Chain A
Amino acid sequence: MADPTPPSAPGATLTPAASAGAATNPGATYKAPKPNPAFRMMGIPVLPRKLPSRNWMIFIAVTSSISAAIIYDKREKKRATARWSKAVSHLGKELISNPNQMPRKLTIFLESPPGDGLRVAQDHFTEYVKPILAASGLDWEFVQGRKEGDVRAAVAERIRRTREPETGAQTQDELVQEIRKKDGTPEYHGMRGDIVIGRHTWKEYVRGLHEGWLGPLTPPQIPEPEVQKEPEVQKVEETPVFEGSEEEKKETKPEEKPEKKPERPPQPPPYNTTNDYPTSALPMLIPSEFSPSAPIGFPHILGFSNTFIRTRRFFTRRYLADDVGREVAAVCFAAAREYREDTNITQSEQQTALEHEERDWVKSVWKERKPEEGEEKESSTPVVPAEKIWASPMVLDPRIAMRMRRFEIQPEEEARAKEIVVPEEELEGWIKGSLRSLYRWAISKPEPNPSWPDE
């Protein structure tokens, strides 16, 4: 404040009156911007004359830039997802021809990433994949795995079921299928599709394909799973006995509960190994091409020391949303091509798909393997060690690999998607949305009131 009047500074030390008089003369021009009387009447104070202190400035700058980055990224992520869902929404708006016609159904493979739970994979799906699928009007079903090998087992089991001659209906899906057949519900005969989320699931998916098509139909002889099955059967028999007398049931309740936890059926063992591929024959009824698949990225990195990487990914999720959206839209458009072969590295595309994600995996995926195997070899128990699909390299059989197809978006579709402009109103959150509606309300013409005189 005193800065603009340096010549009057010595005077200020003398008397306050003199300094005030000296300050008014040069300061008259400086002080000129009087507060707007209208604002003053409304009680709005004058703007502060100086900036806040240095520390406040730093705090405000850091906080606001971080929150701006988060908000911007979030909005752009929404925009990317919304753009791709708009790009596919015309599929969902087609009228249905026959109300009984089954829709196209995709299969989504989800598995808990190494070192984490299934929930993160589900969240990833919900956030990036689901909006687009929901807009596209396709139906989908899940194959979810909680631990390594679950997806492999499920994929292989499904294939084995299609290979097997007509056996009695067993799963609920098959029962539903039979009812549909009886009712004459038309099946969907077009292209289906598999969405595989994450490299770890992708590896298992490929392994499961090989196991299902190249492996035998009968499970390998292992004594171990039978032992596991027996207590289960006993349990089922036991429970109704307990229900008879209530007091007994009550007493056994606490004991029963921990037993119930491992009730999840044991994972079926792999029917073949990767070494069996070349020697096994193809089944007769193998289709010339499998239903196409789409490996979809699932960046997931754990650990405190990776905080910087994680932060960077957190702030650039819009690119991830765009990439995932493109892949999912490709699945919806159902244009597929063969997996390509890398000419120079002699690695096929299946092997290199999402390969960069392996670097993010926790160390235990790679490390645990050796000591465990060593122990089991030493002890030479009949227990077969769980197959390490994640850590082992992907082995492909050319006969299976050439039948796999990959979804790819057509360039014209991509160009069309790029043209789509998502209006801001669809993206904005609550704050901006309510401000906008307030503004709309403020400028809108009032409702004609009949009691007012007509103008």
Chain B
Amino acid sequence: MSFLGFGRPQPSSEEKIAAVQAEMKLLTQMHDRLTKACAKKCVPNEYRESELNKGESVCLDRCAAKFFDVHMKVSELLQQEMQQKGAGGGSFGFGG
């Protein structure tokens, strides 16, 4: 095991970078989606002032919080599903 463990990190510099890049990409995508969704919901298209007003800022706050909430929930469910699928395929075809 330890050999394997040592063996793994050797090509890591590239792999790690790739993994970090993938994660960054994921994060940026999520950020993009969040910005888009919340701006669409909260900021009207008539830009009268340069600043946000109170209503908009609160709306953005709540929107972002909801977004992350939903994101967490969905990813949790997805993980569960994946686990169940993996377990079901591994042992027997009982997908409760």
Contact = CB atoms under 8 A, between A and B. Distances in A.
B25 interface: no
Interface stretch (B10-18, B28-36, B68-76, B86-94): B86-94
A94 to B, nearest CB: 5
Nearest to A92: B55
Contacts of A246: 87, 90-91
A254 B54 contact: no
B53 A103 contact: no
Interface string B34-77: 00000000000000010111111111011000000000000000
B96 interface: yes
B55 A137 contact: yes
B57 A96 contact: yes
Contact of B55 (A99, A135, A250, A254): A135
Contact of A250 (B52, B54, B56, B91): B91
A99 B57 contact: yes
Contact of B51 (A95, A136, A137, A250): A95
A134 B90 CA distance: 50
Instruction: Name, among A89, A95, A135, the residue most crowded by chain B CB atoms within 10 Å (CB to CB).
Output: A95
B96 A96 contact: no
A20 interface: no
A338 B96 CA distance: 57
B87 A137 contact: no
A89 B53 CA distance: 11
Contacts of A134: 55, 59
Given A93-B53, A94-B53, A250-B91, A103 B96 contact: no
B66 to A, nearest CB: 13
Interface in A126-150: 134-139
A247 interface: yes
Contact of A136 (B49, B55, B56, B87): B55
A296 to B, nearest CB: 20
A91 interface: yes
Instruction: Name, among B52, B55, B61, the residue most crowded by chain A CB atoms within 10 Å (CB to CB).
Output: B55
A95 B49 contact: yes
A192 interface: no
A378 B24 CA distance: 66
Contacts of B57: 96, 99, 103, 137
A92 B54 contact: yes
A137 B52 CA distance: 11
B14 to A, nearest CB: 32
A253 interface: yes
A139 B63 CA distance: 11
A103 B91 CA distance: 53
A137 B96 contact: no
Nearest to A243: B83
A249 interface: yes
Contacts of B88: 250
A138 B62 CA distance: 11
A139 B62 contact: yes
Contacts of B94: 250
A96 B54 contact: yes
Given A247-B91, A253-B96, A137 B53 contact: yes
A190 B88 CA distance: 56
Interface in A236-256: 246-247, 249-250, 253-254
A89 B44 CA distance: 14
- Those 4 A-B pairs whose CB atoms lie nearest each other, nearest first: A92-B55, A137-B55, A137-B54, A95-B51
12 contacts: A92-B55, A93-B55, A95-B52, A96-B52, A99-B52, A134-B59, A137-B53, A139-B61, A139-B62, A247-B91, A250-B91, A250-B92
Interface of A: 89, 91-96, 99, 103, 134-139, 246-247, 249-250, 253-254
Given A92-B58, A136-B55, A246-B90, 12 more contacts: A91-B54, A91-B55, A92-B54, A93-B53, A95-B49, A103-B58, A134-B55, A134-B59, A247-B91, A250-B88, A250-B96, A254-B96
